[in-house]
Amino acid sequence: MGFSTMMMQGSGAVMGAAGAYNKAQSQKDMLNTEAQIATWQGAQAIENGQTEEQNSRLRTGAVFGAQRAQLAANGVDLGSGSALDVLASTKYMGNRDALTIRDNATRAAWGYDTQASMDRTAASNISPGMAGFSSLLGSAGSVGQSWYNWQKQGGTVPSMPSWMGG
């Protein structure tokens, strides 16, 4: 093995370390981006839930009003008996539907927030510098062994060519 081969091996180790650093940095950036997207999705889930809840309450109000008008048009006493039961049931079921929509939106937002938290934690556990250093350290043994074997065989460092200032 010649000097130039060992230099190439050393250069490859440095390039590998740079690649490991860049890969780790890209993974970290991707996880932080995914966390931000999940945060936005959580906020959107709450906003959509509020809109759906409001629409549900408006629909319930329309049904309640139509029932009241129909019962009153038929001369039914709205303050007692079956008419009162029907109107109370309509309000109860409408409120129940609206609260179910709110709960579903809250659960969806919680899921997105949990995902964002996990992504941020995963990103914080990535160290691009350590990835590059580990790669370089892993290659150092191989480069060192090659250098040792080369010197043991009588290898010498060539002088610097004149065009490089030597």
pLDDT at residue 163 greater than cutoff 70? no
pLDDT tens digits for range 62-103: 999 999 999 999 999 998 899 999 999 999 999 999 999 999
Count the domains in the chain: 1
In a domain, 94, yes or no: yes
pLDDT tens digits for range 114-147: 999 999 999 998 888 878 778 777 776 676 666 6
More confident residue, 21 or 132: 21
In a domain, 6, yes or no: no
pLDDT at residue 17 greater than cutoff 90? no
pLDDT at residue 166 greater than cutoff 60? no
Rg (CA), the chain: 36
In a domain, 22, yes or no: yes
The number of CA neighbours under 13 Å toward the Cβ of 73 is: 6
pLDDT tens digits for range 24-71: 889 999 999 999 999 999 999 999 999 999 999 999 999 999 999 999
* Mean local confidence (pLDDT), 107-120: 97
Average pLDDT, the chain: 86
More confident residue, 10 or 59: 59
In a domain, 166, yes or no: no
Task: With CA atoms as reference, report the closest residue to 135 among 5, 22, 28.
Answer: 22
Q: What is the pLDDT of residue 57?
A: 97
Contacts (Cβ under 8 Å, ≥6 apart) of 13: 135, 136, 139, 140, 142, 143
In a domain, 69, yes or no: yes
In a domain, 8, yes or no: no
- Global pTM reads 0.69
List C-alpha distances in Å: 11 to 4, 75, 155, 156: 10, 95, 19, 19
Residue 25 three-state SS: helix
Residue-number span of the structural domain to which 47 is assigned = 18-152
In a domain, 161, yes or no: no
Q: What is the pLDDT of residue 51?
A: 98
In a domain, 42, yes or no: yes
